Each structure stands twice: as structure tokens, then as C-alpha cells.
Amino acid sequence: MAKGLLHHIEIYVSDLSRTVDFWGWFLEELGYSSFQDWENGRSWKMDETYIVFVQAEDRFLDIPYHRCRVGLNHLAFHASSREHIDEMTNKLKEKGITILYPENHPLAGGKDHYAVYFEDPDRIKVELVAPR
């Protein structure tokens, strides 16, 4: 295994069922496979990296997530092409998921940065970006 590669990311969520519905199809579209499934969590894996979502305990649900606070701002994933971005944008819209920065989409990250930005059920920003 190459030193420094990301091993896994674990994210606590407010509603595991909603999160699984949201992330499951998206991660599988990107090539991730279902990896672990237990009462309070679910994960998807690609190669040696996996993403875990865990139901937060009720006592920690009083303050909702906000990406502008200290901590995670967003997760960015590689797309295979600009066409892949366009296909995924259409799928997101079909699922009723709001595209962020619509006035600048798909160049909201700059004129050479072709991407789609959206939010998960807890408002964690997600980016899918095409190769240059």
C-alpha cells in the first residue's frame, strides 16, 4: 500500500436511512461497492479506501452541521469526464437534489474547473469534478 493514501473517512449523520438513500446510488455510480452494513452504520469501498456513515447519537443532534464552521468543508470526487459531470448533474436533478451555484454551473470553481456541486441531507457539500 502506498504511504499517505487515504484509508477511510467516517462521517456522523443525523438520519442514517436518508443518508444511505442519498449516498448509496451516488457512490455506486462512481464505482464504490457496499462494504459494511450494521444497525447504526453503512460503508462503501473502492480499492483500499472506504467511506463510512454512522448514525449520531440523539444527544449530539442538537447542533446541526454547517460547512462554514471548523471542520469538514466538502468532499470532492473525481469524475471520468465532462460528459460524466453532465450525466450525473441530470441524475441529481431527476432525484430532486439542488445543484449549488446554478448561475455558474458547471464552471462554479473557475473557468477551467468543470464540476457539479450539491449537498447531502445534512448539508455536507459534495463536488464531482472532471479531469483537466
Res 41: pLDDT = 98
Question: Would 6-56 and 73-132 be classified into the same CATH topology?
Answer: yes
Distance CA(93)–CA(88), nearest Å, equals: 9
Angle between helices 16-29 and 82-94 (to 10 degrees): 150
Residues 6+ apart with CB under 8 A from 54: 10, 11, 12, 13, 16, 40, 41
Domain 6-56 classified CATH 3.40.50.300? no
Tens digits of per-residue pLDDT, 13-37? 999 999 999 999 999 999 999 999 9
Distance CA(12)–CA(16), nearest Å, equals: 9
Distance CA(87)–CA(94), nearest Å, equals: 11
Tens digits of per-residue pLDDT, 104-123? 999 998 888 999 999 999 99
Q: 73-132 — its CATH code? A: 3.10.180.10
Tens digits of per-residue pLDDT, 36-89? 999 999 999 999 999 999 999 999 999 999 999 889 999 999 999 999 999 999
Res 112: pLDDT = 87
pLDDT band of residue 1 (cuts 50, 70, 90) is low
Model's pTM, two decimal places?
A: 0.91
Domains of the chain, residue spans: 6-56, 73-132
Nearest to 53 by CA among 68, 63, 65, 62: 65
Res 119: pLDDT = 96
N-terminal to C-terminal alpha carbon distance within the chain: 26
